A and B are shown apart, each in its own frame.
Chain A
Amino acid sequence: MSTALTLKETDDVFEIGDLTFTSRLIIGTGKYRSHAQMKQAHEASGAEMVTVAVRRIPLDRSSESFLDYLDPNLKILPNTAGCYSVDDAVRTARLAREALKTDLLKLEVIGDQTTLFPDNEQTLEAARILVKEGFVVFPYFNDDLIMAKKLLDAGCVAIMPLAAPIGSGLGVQNPANLRIMREQLPDATIIVDAGVGTASDAAIAMELGADAVLMNTAIAEAQDAAKMAEAMKLAIQAGRLAYLSGRMPKRLYASASSPLGGVIK
């Protein structure tokens, strides 16, 4: 059980639109070895929001609702995973909204199947359509400041730059970009989404000024998913606290920490 002595839960809440969270970790639901393992990991993570995907229901057999395996207290954020076009993403979003009675939407419009990099152009187009239809859009994109501005101008509630390719576990590959984004868009809600691999990656994202981190594979593919989930929870708390503390500057050379005079000779 973690206790944050200086960062009380109520001091640093994470707000998006009408939603208020104490956790800055958002998690996915894919790639787990079992529903039980997923539930344990979710619980260990302390996350309050999870993403789910939309798929055709199988016609040849009865299937239980996947949603029944999720903790009922979790906020569900449907995504448009697997969509490669504006049309698919918009149709998927509308279906998700109808089924879940939620306006929340993680928008993914993928550009290519190998890298899963976003098609930024189509993402922006889909975002514009969906915002007009009243969706609360969380767009996944790559860490491009100009695209970030366009997505925010289009009315997206947050922006979700990737750290590295989905499922790569490489961690933040372009820290300068993230930091620039934070400085140039001080009021934006920035959620680093995709590419996180281990706890330090999540801490680094938060130290760079991200408001939250979204991850799936890092937890689901860890050998002990629940343990990694807890590690991520702590890393995000630590990274956030470090960011709020205002770190010391980096220096090339040492600087003395004790007085120079009075040294015995």
Chain B
Amino acid sequence: MRVYVNGENKELGDGLSLLDLLNLLNLPIQRIAVELNRSVVRQAEWEVTQLKDDDRVEIVHFVGGGSVGRIGKEMSVESY
């Protein structure tokens, strides 16, 4: 079956659960969150949630930072 993970096309065998997918991808299972077709799936349910063809999975973690824009033009101190 074909499943999209973080926007990437993955060809997988049938009968996989979300937990199987995480293990297959060698991903940590702590402090991440998983969304299946735009709905959050709680950790307790990863093992029992079966993937189907064309499912879209998002797996996220935390990083440093906030919103980042294009690099701003620096102002000369005198101009303000």
Contact = CB atoms under 8 A, between A and B. Distances in A.
A and B are interacting partners: yes
Interface of A: 28-32, 38, 51-57, 59, 62-63, 65-67, 76, 78-79, 81-82, 91-92, 94-96, 98-100, 108, 110, 113-116, 165-168, 170, 216
Contact of B66 (A51, A91, A113, A165): A51
Interface of B: 5-8, 25-28, 30-35, 38, 40, 42-43, 58-70, 72, 80
In the A-B complex, the 6 residue pairs with the closest CB atoms? A30-B65, A29-B64, A99-B33, A95-B33, A98-B33, A81-B67
B60 A108 contact: no
A66 B62 contact: yes
Given A57-B27, A59-B6, A62-B26, A95 B60 contact: yes
B38 to A, nearest CB: 6
Given A56-B6, A57-B60, A91-B35, A166 B65 contact: no
Given A91-B38, A113-B70, A96 B65 contact: no
Given A59-B25, A76-B62, A116-B67, 10 more contacts: A28-B65, A29-B63, A53-B64, A54-B62, A82-B68, A91-B40, A94-B35, A98-B33, A99-B62, A166-B69
Contacts, number: 122
B67 A99 contact: no
Nearest to A79: B66
Contacts of A76: 62
23 contacts: A52-B63, A52-B64, A52-B65, A53-B64, A54-B60, A54-B63, A55-B61, A56-B6, A56-B7, A56-B59, A57-B27, A63-B61, A66-B63, A67-B31, A81-B67, A91-B35, A94-B40, A95-B33, A99-B61, A114-B69, A115-B69, A166-B69, A216-B65
Contacts of B80: 170
B62 A59 contact: no
Contacts of A38: 64
Contacts of B6: 56-57, 59
A92 B66 CA distance: 13
Contact of A167 (B28, B32, B34, B72): B72
Contacts of A110: 67
A63 to B, nearest CB: 7
A192 B80 CA distance: 22
Contacts of A81: 65-68
Contact of B65 (A29, A92, A116): A29
A207 to B, nearest CB: 21
B29 to A, nearest CB: 11
A52 B63 CA distance: 6
A52 B62 contact: yes
Contact of B64 (A32, A95, A100, A165): A32
Which of B59, B62, B66, B69 is packed against the most chain A CB atoms within 10 Å?
B66
A116 B67 CA distance: 7
A3 to B, nearest CB: 31
A66 B61 CA distance: 8
